[in-house]
Each structure stands twice: as structure tokens, then as C-alpha cells.
Structure 1
């Protein structure tokens, strides 16, 4: 499977005026989030692939894969995996793990793939970043059009109500000797995270901004995209979703 089969962004660096492209492409993004729970992520992948009852030779697309840790683990489970991400740096890093059943491509999630997948995973709140709301619908349609006839897709998003109830307005995280000063707040139906830090005598400031999409928002978009929502879970153990209690909003659709 050659990369030429995949539609690509002509020049990913031209996207760097978008906050997510600029921030996700820096080494500091990966430093700040390096301690994410791998065991929890692998448990989620185990539960998900078991629930979906994917065939052993299933082709999986990990959409917005970052440095590919989930892609790599899914490949270790035996699946043929394509990891796709907007960040060239992340894909370059992930590609070190490529093999004949594990491929990585620079790709804009708003563009459908030419090939079809048995499962498409969009994990750990990698949705709702776009300035234009219409891009969310475009992305859902691209996912729909990249699925095989019997394929399933999964969006793992934050549960906005739980997040807002438990929001930590300010904190400082020290990772690899760098003090990351973090502020969180809600504004204009978005959840913001302001990240300020200094390194090697230089000051940096980045802003993460994610739409505060709730289950009803996804249901409306999915109906418009001609997508059938099969199930909703509230955590990585695939337990029932409770609006005020669940940490995650996990949507299974086809």
C-alpha cells in the first residue's frame, strides 16, 4: 500500500496559521503530554476491537494519530493499520515504526481516503478544532466515505458537561524541567486551554481551542451526514454514558 494512494495536503506547512497545526507540530506539545496513560489507552483499544468484533485481517485507520502510539499497538494486535495526521513532524516520528502492515501518512481529516477501512478510530478528543463549524460535518462525511460497507467508526471525545464541572482554571505542570503554566476556561461554546512557558531563554504561548460538542450536537451532525449512531459509551471500559458523570463521550457509528 503506497502513500500515493492517499490524498494528501499539498503543503502542510501552509496550515501553520491554524493553532492546532502550529501547536501539534512543536516538540513542546509532545513534552507536555508525554505522560498520558499508555496502559489505559491499550485497554481502550483491547475493549474497542473486542466490542466491534473486527476480523483478524481488518484494515484500521487511526485518524489524527499523532506520533502513532495507538496505531503501533493496534498493529501489534495483528491489524493492518494506517495512521494519518496533519503534523508532518509527528508522521515523520511515527514512520520509524512502519512495517508492511503499518503505514503513516500526512493527511487532512476533512478529505476522504480512496481506499476503504473496516474501522476508523478518531481518539482522545481529536475533533472539533476547526474554525468553521461546517468542517466538522465535512470530516464526518469523509469518515463515512472512507468506511467499507460493513465498517465501523469511533469518535472518542471529551464529555463537555463533566469537563466543565471539574475544570481546573489554573495549574502549573513541570515536565522535563519546563514549567507549563496552564489556564482553562469556556468561551463562545469552546473550551480553551492557554499554555505559557519559557525554554532556552525564549517565551512561548499556545492556545488549544476545542468546540464544546455534546451528544446532541453529534447526533444532529450525524443525521445530516447520513450516519447511523449505534452506541454511546462513557469511558474506556465501555460503560454506559451518563451526561453528568462520564469522563468520555465515545460514539460508535456506521
Structure 2
């Protein structure tokens, strides 16, 4: 049984995970023109497409072929030549440049815990001085929904994410719970830690 998002990725009219997140919109206001951005675990591009439409140079990476295919279809429709979508695995993605902003939104719970530190290290190393990382993770404050359990490999503990950015300036940190409902009437409750950190 495939996860619900794979079906949603086939429809270009469906916003699988909603609109761009507030913190991405806020950080975008502080970026220089033509900033270079990496969306790691981009899904079907809710952040990558938004940022590319602002004129930034965006690399969008996801393991889902359907998600990247959708991004590339929308890219063609909108003539976003500054957006590149790649099929790739975050655990072995090679950073061949440095970025002004790296986003990882809802990726890490699909990755084994023993890979987290290496990915975060590469994200931090791959960020320009003064650049940003925006990271959102699920925590173990609430139980993982049944339909997601087959895909979830690791969950953060409360406050664990913030500790990984101890040497950066923490611009925003939030801990909260929310419920969401997807187009196929699946409802979820999630506990979240979210961070906006700036390299100093």
C-alpha cells in the first residue's frame, strides 16, 4: 500500500501539504535577490515553487519520482527556469555548492536516527555564512498515526532539534501540536518542533 501523498502527487491541482509555511515566507523577505536555495525532501514543491516564483535559484530534492515529476510539470507551465527538481536520497545527497537557505520540512521522520547528525552536519556546512536553515520535525509527544507507521523510521525527542543548532543563532523555535486533514479524508495529529537558525 503506497502512502497517500504518492497519489496526491499525480494531480497538479492538489496542494498535498498545503500552502508554504509561515516561516518560509518570513525568511524569504530577508533573502537577497537571486538567493540560492535547497529544499531537501521537497515533496511536490510547496516551498520550492513558491521561492522560485520569487526569483530565487532553487534546487528541489526528493526521493519520490512522482513528487519531482509534479514539480517539473509545474515548472514547465510557469516557465521557472530557475527551479531544478532532482530525485535523490537525503542520506547520501552530495552538496556541490553552498546555499543561502536550506529547508528540511517533514523529512527526518522518514530517516533512521543514526543518519540525522550527518545530514544536519552537511546542511550546516553547505550553508553560506549568514544563511538560514529551516527545519521542521515530528516529535514523540504524540503517537505516530497508524497509516504513517510503516514509513516512519525515526522521531525526534522534544527539544532535540534545537540542540543540533547550538552553535547557530536561533531566530525562531516553536514546539506545538496540530491536526490536519488531507484530500482523501485522512486526519492526523502531530507534535512538532520547528526551527529557523542562522549561521554566524
Shift of 1:211: 3.0
Contact 1:192 1:210 survives alignment (8 Å) = no
- Counterpart of 2:24 in structure 1 is 45
Higher helix fraction (1 or 2): 1
Contact 1:67 1:90 survives alignment (8 Å) = yes
Match of 1:208, SS? coil
Larger radius of gyration: 1
Under a length normalisation based on structure 1, what TM-score does the superposition of the two structures give? 0.59
Count of residues in correspondence between the two structures: 179
Find the aligned partners of 2:44 and 2:118 in 1 and give their Cα distance.
Answer: 24
Change (3 A) 1:112 1:143: farther
Shift of 1:221: 3.9
Contact 1:128 1:136 survives alignment (8 Å) = no
Change (3 A) 1:71 1:100: same
Does 1:105 pair with 2:82? no
Find the aligned partners of 1:74 and 1:57 in 2 and give their Cα distance.
Answer: 10
Change (3 A) 1:48 1:151: closer
Match of 1:193, SS? coil
Contact 1:157 1:248 survives alignment (8 Å) = yes
Under a length normalisation based on structure 2, what TM-score does the superposition of the two structures give? 0.72
- Name stretches of at least 5 consecutive residues in structure 2 with no aligned partner: 178-189
Change (3 A) 1:67 1:28: closer
Shift of 1:25: 7.8
Q: 1:86 aligned to 63, 80, 84, which one?
A: 63
- Counterpart of 2:42 in structure 1 is 65
- Name stretches of at least 5 consecutive residues in structure 1 with no aligned partner: 1-18, 165-185, 196-205, 235-240
Find the aligned partners of 1:72 and 1:242 in 2 and give their Cα distance.
Answer: 26
Shift of 1:102: 0.9
CA RMSD of aligned residues (A): 3.2
Q: 2:146 aligned to 186, 189, 193, which one?
A: 193
Does 1:120 pair with 2:102? yes
